[in-house]
Amino acid sequence: MPVRTLRIGLIPGDGIGKEVIPAGQRILEALPTYLNLKFEFVHLKAGFETFQQTGTALPDATIDTLRNDCDGALFGAVSSPTHTVQGYSSPIVALRKRLDLYANVRPVKTVSTAPRPIDMVIVRENTEDLYVKQERTYDGPDGKVAEAIKRITSKASFRIATMAGDIAIRRQKLRDADIQRFHKNPLVTITHKSNVLSQTDGLFREASKRALANPKYASVKVEEQIVDSMVYKLFRQPQDYDVIVAPNLYGDILSDGAAALVGSLGLVPSANVGQGFAIGEPCHGSAPDIMGKGIANPIATLRSAALMLEFLDEPAAAAKIYTAVDSNLEQGQLLSPDLGGSATTEQVLNDILFKL
């Protein structure tokens, strides 16, 4: 079988991104040779520090290299200034738009030693909603008025629901093969607020239901939840959910909140996915309070690397990483401080590399 070479862009960004992205590179380099995978890495720049140095948070050279020379990428973290900085905007949001990475996929999963089994994926539309960032402020008769456009299209809603349906089918095949630990029937939960936002969220609901009515999803149960009740049920009965699909804002809130169910943002991966391209991105931020201390949890990045491989059609390689990470967490002997341990980033990484 010929060796496949994947060219991966590495974008550390800011803060602890510089500490965890090298760990992602090392886990890819350590994959067994029988998987017939080889990696080449391209070091790229983006982030607030890049903005301070160059005047742009996302250099054109980074976009051009990703678009023309890479199969996928790993993105670390971005520092978000607490005040308005003229000319600055989030590079990861810009990346999603310019590369049409229309899906943000966030698995939330416990390991076998956890007190209750959780195994879900939140699939968030990644290109529109309030994140189109079209705002204005003006003087009204009673003072300042601020407005923001919420844009929902049938095209984006249809394709994100299709992505959710495909993920539900793939997860069921894995469960049927006993690769995953927790068994449940395939389910997609459409999350919206169409009882109030009848046109925008109503369109998302209608397009999602139309996408999931495709006969190829005949084995997938489809249900709906209003977003506020979804938040309640997510925390009360997370074991009931499989794949949750939502517009951009709701998906952002739900996925960050769901991280609390598994103990730490340092465990939760994500992938920004488009047609034939994926960027793995840990869900934690730049964490300036622990930057440079060598105690950042690398697991979200390692899982993000595996998730990237899933969307690059390398499920066996992804499974190797997932299994090694789960083994580290189940044994619980080398845990980073966010999980109540005292292990360093390097110690956690070396333990997982040993288990690979």
128 and 74, same structural domain? no
d(CA 233, CA 22): 37
84 and 63, same structural domain? yes
> How many domains does the chain divide into?
2
Q: Does a structural domain hold residue 67?
A: yes
Q: Check pLDDT > 80 for residue 177.
A: no
Q: Check pLDDT > 70 for residue 178.
A: no
8 A C-beta contact, residue 16 and residue 336: no
Domain region containing 257: 119-261
Q: Check pLDDT > 90 for residue 19.
A: yes
247 and 125, same structural domain? yes
Six token digits for residue 31: 């994959």
Q: Does a structural domain hold residue 111?
A: no
Task: State mean pLDDT over 320-324.
Answer: 93
Phi, psi of 287 (to 5 degrees): 45, 60
Which of 291, 299, 241 has the alpha carbon at shortest distance from 119? Answer: 241
32 and 58, same structural domain? yes
- Let me know how many helices (H) and strands (E) the chain has, helices first: 11, 12
226 and 206, same structural domain? yes
131 and 216, same structural domain? yes
124 and 249, same structural domain? yes
pLDDT above 90 covers a percentage of the chain that reads: 79
Q: Does a structural domain hold residue 4?
A: yes
Q: Does a structural domain hold residue 109?
A: no
Q: Does a structural domain hold residue 113?
A: no
Residue with tokens 């943000």: 104
In tens, the pLDDT along 140-158 reads 999 999 999 999 999 999 9
d(CA 102, CA 159): 8
Six token digits for residue 228: 């506020």
Domain boundary among the residues 261, 290, 319 is at 261
190 and 92, same structural domain? no
Domain boundary among the residues 261, 295, 310 is at 261
pLDDT above 70 covers a percentage of the chain that reads: 98
Within 8 A by CB and 6+ apart from 53, the residues are none
Q: Does a structural domain hold residue 344?
A: yes
CATH at 139: 3.40.718.10
DSSP assignment string, 187-239: EEEEEE-TTT-TTHHHHHHHHHHHHHTSGGGTTSEEEEEEHHHHHHHHHH-GG
275 and 255, same structural domain? no
d(CA 125, CA 158): 10
Task: State mean pLDDT over 51-56.
Answer: 94
How does the average pLDDT of the chain come out, rounded? Answer: 93
Task: State mean pLDDT over 97-109.
Answer: 93
In tens, the pLDDT along 266-281 reads 899 999 999 889 999 9
The lowest-confidence range among 16-25, 100-109, 169-178, 226-235 is 169-178
Domain boundary among the residues 261, 283, 304 is at 261
269 and 219, same structural domain? no
127 and 42, same structural domain? no
Please say whether the dihedral angle defined by the alpha carbons of residues 345, 347, 350 and 351, taken in this order, is positive or negative: negative
277 and 325, same structural domain? yes
Confidence tier at 182 by pLDDT (50, 70, 90): low
Task: State mean pLDDT over 313-319.
Answer: 91
Confidence tier at 180 by pLDDT (50, 70, 90): very low
In tens, the pLDDT along 74-95 reads 999 998 787 778 889 889 888 9
45-49, 109-113, 181-185, range with greatest mean pLDDT: 45-49
Task: State mean pLDDT over 230-257.
Answer: 94
Confidence tier at 170 by pLDDT (50, 70, 90): confident
Task: State mean pLDDT over 106-111.
Answer: 90
Task: State mean pLDDT over 19-24.
Answer: 97
CA dihedral 344, 348, 351, 353 (to 10 degrees): -120
